Chain A
């Protein structure tokens, strides 16, 4: 995957200038992409008055450093509902992510390595479903689940998240090339059943793509907003995204009294992005390698 690049090109002056321009271009972009995050860090340390008319403006620290007070407020407000939301988000993302990945790995392997009757039709159906806008499914799924009495439960968030047609497609593309038929045949000759051949031969070979699909689906569920917003009305079941939306609505509804709530929203946003940012920085290898699966043939 990491091709050795043609190294040690002759360094001319023209090339040096071009590199300077490229670095300036990247510098400007870094600034653009980091400004909102920088603002969030700074704003998390301000108290309610500092947030709206701080002495040093929106992009610099106020003279009062209120971060620790804010953290205490955030974790105790409304009996610590924020921690509950954070826990819910982690629970939905991990359970839904693991579940959808298991289904995707099995199905991707099935599509890649077996020629059963109805395969081409089923695969065409799968590809068509990648094009179905998932949010267009939210309201129909809500109506269906509400007839079954399942809305406003954790199942209403977890079960629909198991549907990941793109994950199946990625696993199929990967398994087709990464798992040689000869190896599977050898395992069968040795008397391994189909499931054992899958577990002991194919699964280890599919691991890089598996981790990518797992990461992508965890991020997808963690960031999801429309589905839990439609499904849940018990605030104790909310994930962090819907919880922050609830606070935003409350803060906007009573402008003056909402000031302190805005502070919680800001710090709550900051705290909730920390786990994913850490995960991304530490698992770089996987998402970078894996994202090319779907696009390279």
Chain B
């Protein structure tokens, strides 16, 4: 009861503080709130299949399960184990090295091709664009199966080519070559997709810029370096981030090539393969959760460092 005067005193002040037409203001607010109904279906999926699994994995990763001890709370113990587990660290080191080599190579190929395709408009160039993009339509599983056959030292084409010179064919999945062998598979699979994104961005540039540059006496090289590349830089950063995230979660290709690699691709080859092995071969779900989470942390840090280095933090998604 003591509240009643206060409430009564409040309501006139509120209506006075809003604009001349309070009714219109509140219908406008109500209208804007409808936005939530459009977001809602996605928000539910987001909570159930992103927030909940992450939260649950975080929860599980704080416990450890032993035969004698049962499930006990170990806090960050699993993470200490993960970041000092040589298998996990070896995998992380591999994917980081792989990303550092793969991304520039892939970028150079896709940017180079996109610039050439943007500069010439013959029918052959259109055909080339389609053919180079084609591997994107092929599942990574099948891409890896095909390259596994082509890499075979006994019945692949390498054997034929090198055999003609009386030499032994190199085995692209041997311990020394497996890095390059996988590099080739991934570049083949993804370069065309990145090329198309860059190409689409190049096609969006206003052609009058080229006219202006030509009047100033710029060569084709200068136009490419000074106009085209800077203008598609946000597309480049976007696909670099995707390539980085994709490479750090490397799983499908090495997993498929394992049977063909004669043991050169181990069950701890990449962090994801290691987490998969821990979960499904050893039913060690607490540790697998910790590994998944730790990998997520590594990816986040790597992307953040990358965006910081390219100073695109503010404008990537704006």
A→B interface (CB under 8 Å): 1-6, 18-19, 22-23, 25-27, 29-30, 32-37, 39-40, 43, 51-53, 57-59, 102-104, 106-107, 109-111, 113-117, 119, 122, 125-127, 129-144, 159-160, 162-163, 165, 168-169, 194, 198, 219, 222-223, 225-226, 230, 240-241, 244-245, 248-249, 251-252, 265-266, 269, 272-273, 276-277, 279-281, 284, 287-289, 291-292, 294-297
Given contacts A131-B241, A135-B272, contact A143 B235 (CB under 8 A): no
Do residues B139 and A280 form an inter-chain contact, with CB atoms below 8 A?
A: no
Given A36-B147, A132-B50, is A168 in contact with B42 using a C-beta cutoff of 8 Å? Answer: yes
Contact in complex: B295, A136 (CB < 8 Å) = yes
Nearest CB on A from B151, distance (A)? 11
**Complex A-B, nearest 5 residue pairs according to Cβ-Cβ distance, in ascending order:** A114-B35, A110-B38, A295-B235, A292-B200, A252-B259
**In the bound complex, do residue B149 and residue A119 qualify as a contact, i.e. CB atoms below 8 Å apart?**
no
B275: Cβ under 8 A from any A Cβ? yes
Contact sample, A vs B, 24 pairs, CB 8 Å cutoff: A18-B220, A19-B120, A19-B122, A33-B192, A37-B134, A52-B155, A106-B42, A107-B42, A110-B37, A111-B35, A111-B39, A114-B34, A117-B33, A127-B317, A133-B248, A134-B249, A137-B49, A159-B45, A194-B34, A273-B138, A276-B138, A294-B238, A295-B198, A295-B239
Asked if residues A39 and B157 are in contact (CB atoms below 8 Å), the reply is yes
What distance in Å separates the Cβ of A49 from its nearest Cβ neighbour in chain B?
A: 11
User: Which residue of A has the minimal Cβ distance to B48?
Assistant: A159
- A36 partner residues in chain B, CB cutoff 8 A: 135, 143, 146-147, 150, 188
Is B92 in contact with chain A by the CB < 8 A criterion?
no
Pair A226/B293 contact, Cβ less than 8 Å: no
With both chains docked as a complex, state the minimum distance between the C-beta of B209 and any C-beta of chain A, in angstroms.
10
- Let me know if B53 and A110 touch, CB within 8 A: no
Which of chain A's residues has its CB closest to B304's CB? Answer: A131
Q: Is the CB of B134 within 8 A of A280?
A: yes
Interchain CA distance A132-B292 in the complex, whole Å: 11
Contact, CB under 8 Å: A140 / B303: no
Decide if A58 touches B157 in the complex (CB within 8 Å).
Answer: yes
**How close is B187's CB to chain A, nearest CB, in angstroms?**
9
Contact A219–B235 (Cβ < 8 Å): no
- Interface flag for B103 (CB, 8 Å): no
B10-18, B70-78, B123-131, B171-179: which lies at the A interface? B123-131
Residues of chain B in range 263-318 having any CB-CB distance to chain A below 8 Å: 272, 275-276, 279-280, 285, 288-289, 292-293, 295-296, 299-300, 303, 315, 317-318
Give the distance to chain B from A195, nearest Cβ to Cβ, in Å.
8
Q: Which residues of B contact A288 (CB under 8 A)?
A: 196, 200
* Whole-angstrom CA separation of A6 from B213 in the bound complex: 13
Cα A57 to Cα B206 with chains together (Å): 50
Taking the closest CB of chain B, its distance from the CB of A51, in whole angstroms, is 7
- A13 to B232 alpha-carbon distance, docked (Å): 30
The answer, yes or no, to whether B204 is at the interface (CB within 8 Å) is yes
Of B43, B149, B289, which is in contact with the most chain A CB atoms at under 10 Å from its CB? B149
Q: For chain B, residues 236 to 273, give those with C-beta under 8 angstroms from any C-beta of chain A.
A: 238-239, 241, 245, 248-249, 251-252, 255-256, 259-260, 272
In the bound complex, how far is the Cα of B187 from the Cα of A36, in angstroms?
13
Contact for B275 among A52, A130, A139, CB less than 8 A = A139
| A22/B116 contact (C-beta < 8 A), A131-B303, A136-B292 known | yes
Q: Are A249 and B259 also in contact (CB < 8 A) when A36-B146, A133-B248 are?
A: yes
Number of A-B contacts (CB under 8 A): 295
Measured CB to CB, the closest approach of chain A to B139, in angstroms, equals 4
- Minimum Cβ distance to chain A for residue B18 (Å): 16
A139/B57 in contact, CB under 8 A: yes
Residues of B within 8 A of A294 (CB): 197, 238
A36 to B251, CA, bound (A): 21
Whether the pair A3, B235 counts as a contact (CB closer than 8 A) is no
Let me know if B201 and A292 touch, CB within 8 A. yes
Instruction: Given A2-B203, A276-B137, check contact A159 B155 (CB 8 Å).
Output: no
Q: Which residues of A contact B196 (CB under 8 A)?
A: 287-288, 291
Q: Chain B nearest CB: distance from A210 CB in Å? A: 14
Q: Taking the nearest CB of chain A, how far is it from the CB of B19, in angstroms?
A: 16
Q: Is B60 a contact partner of A143 (Cβ separation < 8 A)?
A: yes
A197 CB to closest chain B CB, in angstroms? 10
Q: Are A140 and B128 in contact (CB under 8 A)?
A: no
Docked-complex contact A162 and B45, CB < 8 angstroms: yes
For residue A252, give the distance in angstroms from its CB to the closest CB of chain B.
3
B148 to chain A, nearest CB (A): 8
Residues on B with beta carbons closer than 8 Å to the beta carbon of A51: 155
Give chain A nearest CB distance to B280 CB in angstroms. 7
Q: A133-B249, A251-B259 are in contact. List 19 more A-B contacts (CB 8 A).
A: A2-B203, A26-B113, A29-B113, A43-B149, A107-B42, A114-B35, A127-B317, A136-B249, A136-B299, A139-B279, A142-B279, A194-B31, A223-B139, A244-B142, A245-B141, A252-B259, A276-B138, A295-B239, A296-B234
